[in-house]
Each structure stands twice: as structure tokens, then as C-alpha cells.
A and B are shown apart, each in its own frame.
Chain A
Amino acid sequence: MNKLDIEITERCNNNCIHCHVNLPAADPVARKRELSTDDLKNILKEAVSLGCLTVRFTGGEPFLREDFAELYVFSRKLGLRVLICTNATLITERLANLFSQIPPLEEIEITVYGMRGSSYETITHNPGSFQAAWQGINLLLKYKIPFGVKQALLPPNRNEMEEFENWAATIPWMHKPPQYSIFYQLRRDRDKRKNARIRKCRVSAQEGLRILTRRKDAYIKEMREFCSKFIRPRGNILFSCGAGAGSVCVDAYGFLKPCMMLGPKDCIYDLRKGSLTDALENFFPKLRQIKAKDIDYLSRCARCFLKGLCQQCPAKSWSEHGRLDKPVAYYCEIAHAQAVYLGLIQKDEKAWEVKGWQERVSKFMRAKFRR
């Protein structure tokens, strides 16, 4: 096991319209259920004994935890590299100074929601969050703490891409253009009201394609790399995504999963009743053998060669349908739109009906793109 993802809280001080995780910062039930400091330390110690080199602290907003600094220092003194995913609004002078004294060894990942207060806070629903985020970012710059930024692309900030990228280019550690979240997934708790809100944030497949291909050469290059490694029919084994192999996730309540977004009980392992070692040796290998049963999945996804382009996975199927093996139409449309653009399939063709897909992929890998 080389990497451990720990969602140390689901709570967040923002209430972003697109978020698939967040609970209110002061949610008393969530707070009571969260793993204690000692629980987390024990998990970290066991992870280190299993060879883990990197821990990712995520959430919610990880800096909401009052014991964050303690967990952070503990992790670093175990010899872990620490990656932190944050909205930056809660970065204080004290935290920045801590990162300066004990560097994380991984760039902090900051998600930005807009380049001005009006767009930013329309998304976060948290007055003052824009200024707080920029304050946090400026503290990291002041103390020279390496970080990278990415943006959640949403209707309120969609026309700020150029401004965002120009600003991102000024950050000393950003050596390539920032990434964007575009195709939002639904919540693992399947909250109907919040899922309805997320669906409204989703771009169409064509709009998504337009955003992805705005830097055509870089897109084609990335797709060729992806296709050379991942494109093929996924077959009926559900966890062909590689989740749980090499890195594992612990949610805020001590449930270990191959992927943080998984929800169903038979896919999660209660660390409060077992151990990382047992989960890795016994539970995950069994999980990776699970096969799809749904007829639609077997006739479509299992045969479709667009694996690598398509975001279909057990976790997303769970969020959409409440089961692990149902095709998610949204991701199917996006994958097909990309495949048409790349010349892998014809318009209106269904990738799972294509015979001789290997030849199409070879042709794509050799093609010269002009546009």
C-alpha cells in the first residue's frame, strides 16, 4: 500500500452547489461520529507499517478539524509525505508557519471557485469565503509553501477561465495549466435534494467536449497516452478501475473502501472492528472479484472499448442508481462525444457494437489532427 486517502471530516465551512460530500461545519451528528485523534493516529501507524509513503488529508474541509495540526505533525514524524486538499479559507498564519517549519513534501491542492466574490460565493454559499480563500493563498505564498490550484467549473465562473489561468500561471509551482472539475458526480449518500442541485451544475456532453478540447494539441496528446494504457472493453469485473490496488481510502467514520465515493455496505470495511492488514489481505481481494450482473451493463459497458475515456465506475453507478453495475447515461454520452471527436467512432455509432476496435485505436494513435 503506497498511498492512504483519509477523509478526516465530511463537514465543510462552505456549502458548494456541486459538492458530492459536504455536511455543515457544525453538524453535531457528523462531528460525534468522526474518528477520534487516537483512532486516526492508529490508522496512520498501521499504514506506515504496511509501507505507506503518502497520506492525503481530504474532506469536507480538513482544516475544520481542531486536531489537524496534531495529526499533520504526527504523520510527518512517522515519515509520511502529506497531501492536503483544501478550499484554503481556513489557512491561518499559524498553519502556514507550521508548513514552513515542517513542510508537507507534497503540494497543497487548492480548489478555487471563482475569481471574484460574486462568482465564488454564488457557488460556495458562504459569505466572506472569497476573501478568506485569497487570504489563505497569500499566506502560503508569503511562507513559500508549494501549492497548486484547480477550479470547479460551474455556471457562475465559467466565463472566468482565462482570468483564472492567467492568475494560476503566476503561482511559482504551477508548471502546467490548471485542471478543472467539469462532470460532477452525485453524492454517495444519495441525498435527493442535493443531487438535484448537482444535476443542474452538469454541463452537456457537447459543452464539456468544447471545454476539454480548447487546447486541442494537449487534449489529443493526453488522450493518446490514456488510450495506449487504458482503452479496451472493461469486461464484467466491476473494479477494473484499479481502485483498492496500491491506495485505499478511509472515510470520516472509519470505513475503509477502495474508492472514497463508494457507499454500499458490502463494499466497505469497518476499521473500528478490524485492521488495515486484514482489509488488504482478505477483504479487498474479494471485492476485486465482484462481477457485474445488470443486463444493460453486460450488454453495453462490459463490451464498450471506451474504458479510459469513460468515467463509468462502481462508485458513480452507486451514486446515480443505488447499485454498482448500472450504466450511467451521463458519462456514456460524454465518452461517446469524445470518441466521435477523436475519430474512434462515427456519430450515432455505439462503441459497444464496434467490432475491430483495436484497429480504430491504432488509426487514432497514428492520425494527424488538423483543426
Chain B
Amino acid sequence: MEKKAHLDRVYKVSDDVVAREIQGEFILIPVTSGIADMEDEIFALNETGKAIWHRLDGTRTLKEVVEDLSLEFSGSTENIRNDALGLVGELLKRKMVV
């Protein structure tokens, strides 16, 4: 499985992951085996991560997601791009996005 994120690719959150918000913390809980590293199976996202997650809907490229985020968040587009690439890379490794 590809473990490096690319801006020109379209990503979608896995159906085998449940996203929940509990007491202000946004967490991803794997449902099936093979998702995430079961040693550390609850994956928490910060506000930026949560915003990225909600945009991984299988309809737009990561580049388009970054552009959309730049409108919502302050901070340079480069930083947002690096955050998005880093996060999606981690999520790919854990098979939490496809």
C-alpha cells in the first residue's frame, strides 16, 4: 500500500474507521484488523487534522483540500500543505484513508 501522500491524488477516509468527537477530542477508532497499529489504536487529531479528515471525501485532490483549508485557516499555504501531506501519509500507513 502506498505510504506517501501526493497532492495530485484523491483520498477518501476508510469505511473501516469510525471518527468520534469526545469531550472536545477528535479521535479515530479502527473497526477491522489491519487498520492502524493495534498497539496504539486510538488516533487523535488536532483541529487542523480534523478539518483535513472531513475533507477527505473521495471527490477532490489533496491539492484542492489544501486550497480549501487555506481559506479557513490562517497560516501559510505551505504549512497547511506540509500538515496535510504529513497527516495523510500517517493515515495511509495506518490504512485509515484509501
A residues contacting B by CB (< 8 A) are 2, 48, 51, 53, 76-81, 100-103, 105
Contact = CB atoms under 8 A, between A and B. Distances in A.
B71 interface: no
A77 B18 contact: yes
Contacts of A105: 29-30, 38, 41
Interface string B41-64: 100000000000000000000000
Nearest to A78: B18
B33 A79 contact: no
B16 to A, nearest CB: 9
A103 B23 contact: no
B20 A102 contact: no
Contacts of B32: 101-103
Given A102-B33, A105-B29, A79 B41 contact: no
B22 A102 contact: no
Contacts of B31: 76-77, 79, 102
Contacts of B19: 79
A79 B23 contact: no
A80 B19 CA distance: 11
A45 to B, nearest CB: 13
B33 A101 contact: yes
B22 A100 contact: no
A71 to B, nearest CB: 15
A76 B31 CA distance: 6
A301 to B, nearest CB: 34
Contacts of B30: 103, 105
B33 A51 contact: no
A324 B29 CA distance: 40
A102 B31 CA distance: 6
A51 B22 CA distance: 5
A76 B20 CA distance: 12
A165 B30 CA distance: 33
A105 B27 CA distance: 14
Interface string B1-36: 000000000000000001110110000011111000
A246 to B, nearest CB: 11
Contacts of B23: 51
B4 to A, nearest CB: 27
A48 B20 contact: yes
A103 B22 CA distance: 21
Given A76-B31, A81-B29, A103 B20 contact: no
Nearest to A103: B33
B33 A100 contact: yes
A100 B20 CA distance: 23
Given A51-B23, A53-B22, A103-B33, 5 more contacts: A77-B18, A78-B18, A102-B32, A105-B29, A105-B30
B26 to A, nearest CB: 12
A101 B19 CA distance: 19
Contacts of A100: 33
A258 B72 CA distance: 44
Contacts of A53: 20, 22
Nearest to A51: B22
A102 B17 CA distance: 11
A369 B67 CA distance: 65
Contacts of B33: 100-103
Contacts of A80: 29
A79 B38 contact: no
A77 B41 CA distance: 15
B32 to A, nearest CB: 6
A81 B36 CA distance: 14
Contacts of A79: 18-20, 29, 31
A81 to B, nearest CB: 7
A103 B18 contact: no
Question: 9 tightest A-B contacts by CB?
Answer: A79-B18, A79-B29, A51-B22, A79-B20, A103-B33, A76-B31, A102-B32, A105-B41, A77-B31
Contacts of B41: 105
B38 A103 contact: yes
20 contacts: A48-B20, A53-B20, A53-B22, A76-B31, A77-B18, A77-B31, A79-B20, A79-B31, A80-B29, A81-B29, A101-B33, A102-B31, A103-B30, A103-B32, A103-B33, A103-B38, A105-B29, A105-B30, A105-B38, A105-B41
A260 B71 CA distance: 51
